[in-house]
Amino acid sequence: MYPEKVVRHTLGLALLVTIVVLALSACSGGGQEQANKPRRLPEDEKPLHAGEYRTKEFKPSLSFRVGKGWSTESHPPDVPERVGLTWR
């Protein structure tokens, strides 16, 4: 029905596209996985980016998620078990 050369060319092109799509999806997968990892809570007073944070100040360690508008508070060095967060 179709000339053999056209069929072979079409199958070769489809195989190439499949390989490129698989390679791109494999390369970009790790970035999203790293973006979802919790970040360490900063020690200084500063605004927080929206996302998940963790702190090892407590046993067991604490992780939580914040949205826009949150920041850390400074606390006295003699009170290490306190984590201060404010919303602005």
Q: pLDDT 10s per residue in the chain (88 long)?
A: 668 888 888 888 888 888 888 877 776 655 545 556 778 877 778 888 888 888 777 777 778 888 888 888 776 666 666 667 777 6
Q: What is the pLDDT of residue 30?
A: 54
pLDDT of res. 28 = 60
| Sign of the CA dihedral running 37, 76, 59, 87 | negative
The tally of CA atoms less than 13 A away on the side-chain side of residue 31 is: 5
Cα-trace Rg, the chain: 25
**In the prediction, which pLDDT does 81 show?**
62
How many Å apart are CA 17 and CA 5, to the nearest integer? Answer: 18
